[in-house]
Amino acid sequence: MSAVHIAGVGMTKFGKNPRTLPEIFCQAAELALAESANPEVEALYIGAMNPEEFTGDSNIASQIVDALGITGIPAIRVETASSAGSAAIFAGFQAIASGCYRRVLVLAGEKMTQLSTSATTRILAEVIDKRERQCGATMPALAAMITEKYRKKFRLSESRLENMLCSVALKNHLNGSRNPLAQFQKAITRETYLASKFVSTPLRLYDCSPITDGAAAVILTSDKTDVRLSGVGQATGPLSLQGRDSFTSFPATKLAAERAYSMAQISPLDIDFAEVHDAFTPFEIISTEDLGFFPPGKGGDAVLNGQTAIDAALPINPSGGLKARGHPVGASGLAQVVEATKTLRGQTPMKLAPKRGLTQSTGGLGTNNFVTILERSEAPAVQNLWSPKPSAPAAPHRHSRSVRIAAEGIIETFTILYVTPDGFLPPLALALIRDRHGALLMAQGEDDTQLKIDQEVYLRRMGGVYFFTVKSQLQKVQQAFKKLFRRRAPVSSKRNIRREQK
Amino acid sequence: MSAVHIAGVGMTKFGKNPRTLPEIFCQAAELALAESANPEVEALYIGAMNPEEFTGDSNIASQIVDALGITGIPAIRVETASSAGSAAIFAGFQAIASGCYRRVLVLAGEKMTQLSTSATTRILAEVIDKRERQCGATMPALAAMITEKYRKKFRLSESRLENMLCSVALKNHLNGSRNPLAQFQKAITRETYLASKFVSTPLRLYDCSPITDGAAAVILTSDKTDVRLSGVGQATGPLSLQGRDSFTSFPATKLAAERAYSMAQISPLDIDFAEVHDAFTPFEIISTEDLGFFPPGKGGDAVLNGQTAIDAALPINPSGGLKARGHPVGASGLAQVVEATKTLRGQTPMKLAPKRGLTQSTGGLGTNNFVTILERSEAPAVQNLWSPKPSAPAAPHRHSRSVRIAAEGIIETFTILYVTPDGFLPPLALALIRDRHGALLMAQGEDDTQLKIDQEVYLRRMGGVYFFTVKSQLQKVQQAFKKLFRRRAPVSSKRNIRREQK
């Protein structure tokens, strides 16, 4: 296997960009090509999540080779939802490592700001499970449910969790304020964070990465340069929340990291800094645990204690991350590689002189994740071993599709969604319910009562969507009902109770 | 480089399929896995052109590993417009040839029949150049213009061209009638062909492949099996018609074929049969020329003379091709590989016992093309050489974007489009005009006069779209105008003539 090096990188200023998507791609490509000693490439790998719906751009690989004036070379678009940029570098890595090509151009980008927030939310929500979407769930709603579950599992008070998430946001905005290509160029205060509205409880606006335009470019080569891609790993995980065993970590990140560490023949201790997929602040915390930097439940303490600050022992998202650099979905995985390359070259404000960096990118709700390891070429030469052994047989996850659902259950996790997709009015209570048979299902709340994990609920199904009512709430309604009519309601079954309510 | 073999193939019955896209994918995958000795795979490569818009399916790679119950393994979607199925096999080939994996599942599919023809036409048209699309051009319109140019270049009478195209349609429908998985199971007659309506002159309904649902699956392995993938090649070409030097062949097919022949160390003479991308009947003729089977301008004679029939020396599209087997866009490139594998194994009605087959797939209007070579493993062992030499530097094609357009020009090629995209009324005259400076541009006709290649026209621009009027026609209008008012019109410039017309 050939060693894979980086010959040039480029990135547009992230944020609102008046140019068309092909123009944004060309802008990034030209920066990388200009930086590279040799501007000729043998193939193009291009990552984009959904240019079809964001900008009406189809056949994007052909569009871009044409626009760059390099038709003739093979060009392939790769896509794995919001980790498409990493999928592109992964494909480019394989092409060079295998000896198929000696120099390839890897591009990734997205243009999103021209659409309304609700239209963008709808397109982004298409990556999640259809049944959960049908319920009104969005990416922030599912991320919020994972966060609520994390708080419960690690026994964090609401205010401690809030402090942790706030610390991630403050750190990343501070880092972004020093990155001239970041979308947000100002540090924020705790007050600004706390004043920001809830998108989906417990996640506020400042817990969510913004809507962004941008593209990144990397030239990979088999010739030795100052930065080497020494490990890549990819893995998939269950699509729906309903189909998961674990809610407070992403098995796909763990597996991808294992594969990348094994290829680079290193351990998490050898990593000097990392760019991780903080599309939501809690995901940064979870990722630093999944990557093996901190034990489960300790990633939040690490950020609170300043261990992941830009001048600390293990800087996380020194570029500002998706949170402050911006998140043009398909671009982010490759933008991380661009930022890590610059950091290794000492072109960013990080004071340390790091030898090794890691990037981690998440596709969908942790369904298609990548880990990439980069190192300065001065580092002791390690043989680039692509592990040709078959992957560990994947544990087939349980499908709860055709399971008969009991009429009662308990709340596994929940959120109140304030930024709803088209057709749903806020606030929208959503919960993942585990029924008596153990099956999980996404349901909409019928009232906006105080929800808690492990609360008992009644379930009913209407138009293909499940609805839940908290038991205590139902009892309250019953009592009020009884009082009002001053007689005992003729309750013979739960079904009847529900009828009387209407 | 490891040799790449086929361990199993599967394909759904093409046509209208009531299942969802993920279900169709799983159906094909399960057939291929069932056929394979070992049902475990290490990675998934999945091709689809535009599931986002056809069926609202995003994050398709994660959806399918999840639905197949094999989460954990890496899964990547690849896309190159209508050749996405070939892009998937190409990516899978690289993964095995490089030693990255030992067994991968390659899938490709699309579901299209649930939409209206005009909606499907709009989505399919997104793969062509935006400026040409703005004019009302569709895939059939541009294919028709290429056909008209072919007729002119090779001095074919209208009826001779019609005979050639009709022969392709009759042959492929006859072949399809013997293929139980083909969408159309009946042979057609010359009368049926001639009675079919024009979609875009000179192309009739029976010159165009249908709208189809379907998926194909192939398992690739480094273990020896009875069929080997001995060569793959990919190349890109200019996106727009306006940006081309050649209208009667596809340079991307020629280049992809060159690369595949070189890898397999064979010449076109060594091919026993081929499945080619006959999305339009003339494309079969052009492809057989680009692949080196027949000299330029002789592919039509070959089909007329029966040289490409199923029992002749070089059967082309023995499966029925896209024309009769159907064309679920993203699936077709992989379906060709499934069909070719079955033919090599003697599982299809072809009488010959072929040793080597070729598949050729076209993305967009010949912008991203692939050639694949398959051979029976009994064939003398040839070393599988992936050519690591850099590709010939691509000739950057001319861009006519910012060129000043002259007000006059000649018709380079044209068509009358009868099946128009949303917002355009049929019949719609479209022509590719070459102006006095040599620049090419797509324009809409202002009248439905008899059009001819090389006719002189006047041009004007309105709302970003060019319109043309044939000079002789303009003179006629002028004369009629003069007669009507019995006085000399005060013509001082062409601009004035145009004003008076309105």
Give yes or no for residue B402 having a pLDDT over 80.
no
Mean pLDDT within B312-332 = 97
For the residues of A276-306, what is the DSSP string, one character each? ---SBHHHHHHHHHHTTSS-TT-HHHHHHTT
For the residues of B199-261, what is the DSSP string, one character each? EETTEEGGGB----BEEEEEEEESS--SEEEEEEEEEE--SSSTT-S-SSS-HHHHHHHHHHH
Q: How far apart are the first and last CA of chain A?
A: 68
Q: Over chain B, what is the mean pLDDT?
A: 89
Task: Report the percent of chain B where pLDDT is more than 70.
Answer: 89
Count of A–B CB contacts within 8 Å?
243
pLDDT at B2: 83
**Cα gap B318→B484, rounded to integer Å:** 61
Which value does ipTM take for this structure?
0.86
B127–A234 CB contact, under 8 Å: no
- Single-letter code of the amino acid located at A248: T
Q: Is B42 on the interface with A (CB under 8 A)?
A: yes
Which residues of chain B does A77 touch, with a Cβ-Cβ cutoff of 8 Å?
78-80
Q: Which residue from B79, B243, B388 is facing A100, i.e. has the nearest CB?
A: B388
pLDDT at B448: 65
Please name the residues in contact with A365: beta carbons below 8 A apart, sequence gap of 6 or more. Answer: A127, A128, A139, A142, A143, A146, A239, A241
Q: Which of residues 248-277 of B touch A (CB under 8 A)?
A: 251-252, 255
Q: Is A66 on the interface with B (CB under 8 A)?
A: yes
pLDDT at B382: 37
Helix (H, G, I), strand (E, B) or coil at A146: helix
Mutant choice from B59, B220, B258 vs A, greatest count of A C-beta within 10 A: B59
Q: Which of residues 345-404 of B touch A (CB under 8 A)?
A: 363-364, 367-368, 386, 388, 390-397, 399
Query: What residue has token string 């999840």?
Result: B66
Do strands B214-221 and B103-110 pair parallel, antiparallel, or not at all (unpaired)?
Answer: antiparallel
**Cα gap A379→A402, rounded to integer Å:** 54
Structure-block tokens of residue A500: 């009387």
Q: Which residue from A42, A128, A392 is facing B391, i.e. has the nearest CB?
A: A42
B236–A59 CB contact, under 8 Å: no
Q: Which residue from A78, A100, A127 is facing B59, i.e. has the nearest CB?
A: A127
Alpha helices in A236-370 (DSSP H): 251-264, 281-290, 299-304, 321-325, 332-344
With residues binned 3-state (H G I as helix, E B as strand, rest as coil), the percentages for chain B, rounded to 5, are: 35, 25, 40
pLDDT at A440: 87
A396–B49 CB contact, under 8 Å: no
Local confidence band at B381 (pLDDT 50, 70, 90 cut-offs): very low
Q: Which helix (H) or strand (E) holds B175?
A: helix B158-176
Mutant choice from B79, B94, B371 vs A, greatest count of A C-beta within 10 A: B79
Q: Minimal Cα–Cα distance from A384 to chain B, Å? A: 12
Contact A267, A353 (CB under 8 A): no
**Cα gap B306→B310, rounded to integer Å:** 9
**Cα gap B77→B64, rounded to integer Å:** 10
Angle among Cα B339, B348, B287 to the nearest 5 degrees reads 45
pLDDT at A270: 95
Q: Is A235 on the interface with B (CB under 8 A)?
A: yes
A80–B59 CB contact, under 8 Å: yes
Q: Minimal Cα–Cα distance from A59 to chain B, Å? A: 5
**Cα gap A227→B76, rounded to integer Å:** 26
B78–A73 CB contact, under 8 Å: no
Helix (H, G, I), strand (E, B) or coil at B411: strand
A98–B101 CB contact, under 8 Å: no
Structure-block tokens of residue A89: 């570098």
- The per-residue pLDDT for range B329-377, each reduced to its tens digit, is 999 999 999 999 999 999 988 877 899 999 999 999 999 999 999 999 9
B126–A52 CB contact, under 8 Å: yes
Q: Which residue from A72, A100, A396 is facing B98, i.e. has the nearest CB?
A: A100
Better-scored residue on pLDDT, A36 or B302: B302
Tell which residue, B227, B168, B138, has the closest CA to residue B426. Answer: B138
Query: What residue has token string 């929208």?
Result: A428
pLDDT at A406: 67
Query: What residue has token string 């064939």?
Result: B379
**Half-sphere exposure in the Cβ direction for A483 (13 Å, CA):** 6
Instruction: Give the CA distances from residue B50 to residues A183, A352, B464, in Å, rounded to whole numbers and listed in that order.
Output: 30, 45, 27
Contact B437, B409 (CB under 8 A): no
Q: Minimal Cα–Cα distance from A57 to chain B, Å? A: 7
**Cα gap B478→B484, rounded to integer Å:** 10
Tell which residue, A334, A336, A335, A353, has the closest CA to residue A344. Answer: A353
Contact A84, A52 (CB under 8 A): no
Cis check: omega of the bond before B421, within 30 degrees of 0 = no
Tell the burial category of A393 from Cβ atoms under 10 Å away from its Cβ (0-12, 13-18, 19+): exposed
Angle among Cα A122, A127, A132 to the nearest 5 degrees reads 80
Which residues of chain B does A243 touch, with a Cβ-Cβ cutoff of 8 Å?
66
φ, ψ for residue A433 (rounded to 5)?
Answer: -110, 140
Tell which residue, A173, A167, A203, has the closest CA to residue A185. Answer: A173
> From B125, which residue of chain A is nearest by alpha-carbon distance?
A58
| DSSP 8-state class, residue B196 | S
> From A98, which residue of chain B is nearest by alpha-carbon distance?
B98
Contact A470, A485 (CB under 8 A): no
Give yes or no for residue B118 having a pLDDT over 90.
no
B77–A75 CB contact, under 8 Å: no
Mutant choice from B1, B54, B66, B250 vs A, greatest count of A C-beta within 10 A: B66
B386–A79 CB contact, under 8 Å: no
Q: Is A81 on the interface with B (CB under 8 A)?
A: yes
Considering just the CA atoms, what is the radius of gyration of chain A in Å? 24
- The per-residue pLDDT for range B122-150, each reduced to its tens digit, is 899 999 999 898 888 999 999 999 999 99
What is the tally of helices (H) and strands (E) in chain A? 16, 16
φ, ψ for residue A32 (rounded to 5)?
Answer: -70, -40
pLDDT at B380: 39
Contact A385, A365 (CB under 8 A): no
Mutant choice from B76, B242, B246 vs A, greatest count of A C-beta within 10 A: B76
Tell which residue, A392, A391, A409, A399, has the closest CA to residue A461. Answer: A409
A56–B126 CB contact, under 8 Å: yes
Please name the residues in contact with A321: beta carbons below 8 A apart, sequence gap of 6 or more. Answer: A172, A175, A176, A209, A275, A276, A278, A284
Tell which residue, B320, B329, B332, has the closest CA to residue B169. Answer: B320
Structure-block tokens of residue A7: 């010959």
Give yes or no for residue B99 having a pLDDT over 90.
no
According to DSSP, the residues that pair with B466 across neighbouring strands are B443, B461
The pLDDT averaged over each successive group of 10 residues in chain A (502 residues) is 93 98 98 90 98 96 97 97 98 91 97 93 92 89 95 96 98 97 97 95 96 98 96 96 90 97 96 98 98 97 97 96 98 98 92 91 97 82 38 40 66 88 83 88 82 90 86 72 58 40 39
Contact B245, B397 (CB under 8 A): yes
Helix (H, G, I), strand (E, B) or coil at A51: helix
Instruction: Give the CA distances from residue B254 to residues A61, B135, B268, B289, B293, in Å, rounded to whole numbers and listed in that order.
Output: 19, 29, 11, 9, 11
Mutant choice from A4, A45, A79 vs B, greatest count of B C-beta within 10 A: A79
> From B100, which residue of chain A is nearest by alpha-carbon distance?
A388
Please name the residues in contact with A318: beta carbons below 8 A apart, sequence gap of 6 or more. Answer: A175, A273, A275, A310, A339, A343, A348, A349, A350
pLDDT at A394: 42
pLDDT at B464: 80
Tell which residue, A301, A394, A323, A367, has the closest CA to residue A49. Answer: A367
Better-scored residue on pLDDT, B175 or B131: B175
Give yes or no for residue B478 having a pLDDT over 80.
no
- The per-residue pLDDT for range B23-51, each reduced to its tens digit, is 999 999 999 999 987 889 999 999 999 99
Highest mean pLDDT: which of A311-315, B115-119, B241-245? A311-315
Q: Which residue from A52, A70, A95 is facing B94, i.e. has the nearest CB?
A: A95
**Cα gap A452→A472, rounded to integer Å:** 12
Which residues of chain B does A237 touch, with a Cβ-Cβ cutoff of 8 Å?
62, 71-72
Give yes or no for residue B249 having a pLDDT over 90.
yes
Q: Is B93 on the interface with A (CB under 8 A)?
A: no
Contact A361, A370 (CB under 8 A): yes
Mean pLDDT within B231-247 = 93
Instruction: Give the CA distances from residue A449 to residues A434, A452, A470, B1, in Å, rounded to whole numbers and listed in that order.
Output: 19, 10, 8, 63
B395–A235 CB contact, under 8 Å: no
Tell the burial category of A371 from Cβ atoms under 10 Å away from its Cβ (0-12, 13-18, 19+): buried
